[in-house]
Structure formats: C-alpha cells, structure tokens
Amino acid sequence: MAARVQISQPGLSVQPDRAVAVHRTLPEEVAVAMVFDGSSAAVMMATPADVQDLALGFALSEGIVTAPDQLDGFELAEHPNGLEARFWLREDRADALAERRRFMAGPVGCGLCGIDSLDAAARDLPSVGDGPRFTRAEVARATDMLRDQQPLHDQTRATHAAGFLLPGAGIVLVREDVGRHNALDKLIGALARQGIDPATGAVVMTSRLSVELVQKCAIAGISTLIAVSAPTAHALRLAQGAGMTLAAFARGGAFDLYSHPHRVTEKVSDVA
C-alpha cells in the first residue's frame, strides 16, 4: 500500500505586473494514527511516505519501546480519512505503553500539543554518550549536503528533512515530512530498521532547534544536533543538561556553536 506523497495543483501566480497560470506540486498531508496493541496512542498530520519508519521512530523516541525487537508485528491500514500504523508489542512492554500514553512529546504537528501536564513537557532527559567528533568543515557543510538529498522538497518547497551525518562519510540517510519532528521520527525509525546505531553520528535538520527535537535526539542517544535555523532558549537549556552539542544557523559555510563544543574540532587530526 503506497499513498501518494504529492499532487499537481493549478494556481495563479500574481506578480507586480502580471498574473500567470501555474501548476505547483504540493505535498500530501494525511492523518496518521499510531496504534499499539489495538489502542491509538497519538494521531498526527504527516506526509504518507516511510510511515513504518515514522511509527517505529515515534515508538522509540517516546519510550514505548527501546529496541525494534520489542515489537511483534506491523501493519499499515488505509482508511478514507487517513492511515493507521498498527504495531503489536511484546507482552513485557504493555506497562511502558500505558505510561507513555500520558506523556507524549510529539503527538501532533506542534510537537508538544496533547500532553496532559506541565511535568510531561519538562520530562527529564538521559545524558547522551561521548559520541563522535566532527570537523568544523563537516558541520559547516552539513545542511548543504542535506539540501542535496531532499527530492520531495525539490518538488514542493514545503517539507522538512532530517539527515544522519557520519564523520568522514557525509550524510548517509535522509527522511522528509511536512513536520520537522515527523522527519526526525522517520529518520530514527529508519536507523533502527537498518541496524545503524544513532549514537555513531549527528542529526542534521532543516528547521529551527525546538524542544521536541532535543528530547527525541537525547532519548535516541544522539549527541550532536545541527540545524539551519536557531535554537529556542529552552531547547538549548535541555541540550546543555543532556550533554548534547547544538550547532545552529549552519548555512553558507558557517555556523553558531552553542553547547558542548568539544565534539567539533578544527581539523581532521583533532578528531579522536
């Protein structure tokens, strides 16, 4: 089952001196229900591509499971009003599902809507490991490398992307979605399905650095987060507390380094 991820739409381009007919490619956005053991945990608006990656990444980044082998099965069901990503959990994860249903960090488009307490928004994060080192040049080029691997954005100019950067290898995996946190969940899920340890690389985002991105990366064990735009103040505080390196405004060969700068070195020989 493969839902279309974009449509061609006629429109009118209004310019200062004229109006001309145009056709634009627009990304699809559908409701995706995350269903575990027959019970819906969250519904979000997402691009209907790589939905299994999205669902697995969501389960991992929300603590419903800690490894893919804690899932017994997956099914994608299509309905007139959206999609259901159905997982069946190993029996010993039932308590984790019940607990996490109360404290979801990313159930809808804004990333934190739908949680039912202030404590849930400020949940404690694990400390990330030491992680890999990157040269300044790698960080400075990261968003340009990501930009070269965004086919849906090339067609629509309306989607975010999350990429996985490995030292000395560049960006080796990319996922796209209309939502920045959805793109990150898809990436985390894709890494898990391909057996790639998230702690071995950095995440590169096309968006601002918001709270839910830091939360999801910390839970996944990712120690460096790079983005084209700014961090929020609270996201920076969370990253500092979790030991995570934040590099922001990474574009045009430059970047700002905000926290735990030891993972970004001047040259290759400095990399541990």
**Catalytic residue numbers, as ranges:** 110
Task: Give the residue from 138, 207, 200 showing the smallest Cα distance to 178.
Answer: 207
> Which residue blocks in the chain are alpha helix, DSSP H?
51-61, 94-100, 118-121, 136-147, 151-156, 180-193, 211-220, 233-242
Report d(CA 84, CA 54) in Å as an integer.
12
Tokens matching residue 216: 């999801």
Helix (H, G, I), strand (E, B) or coil at 194: coil
Query: What does the DSSP assignment read for 107-144?
Result: SSTTSSTT---HHHHT---PPP-----EEHHHHHHHHH
Q: State the helix-helix crossing angle for 51-61 and 211-220, rounded to 10 degrees.
A: 80
**Residue listed under structure tokens 């099914």:** 75
Report d(CA 114, CA 101) in Å as an integer.
10
Phi, psi (rounded to 5 degrees) for 258: -110, -30
Q: State the helix-helix crossing angle for 233-242 and 211-220, rounded to 10 degrees.
A: 20
> 247 and 139 in contact (C-beta within 8 Å)?
yes
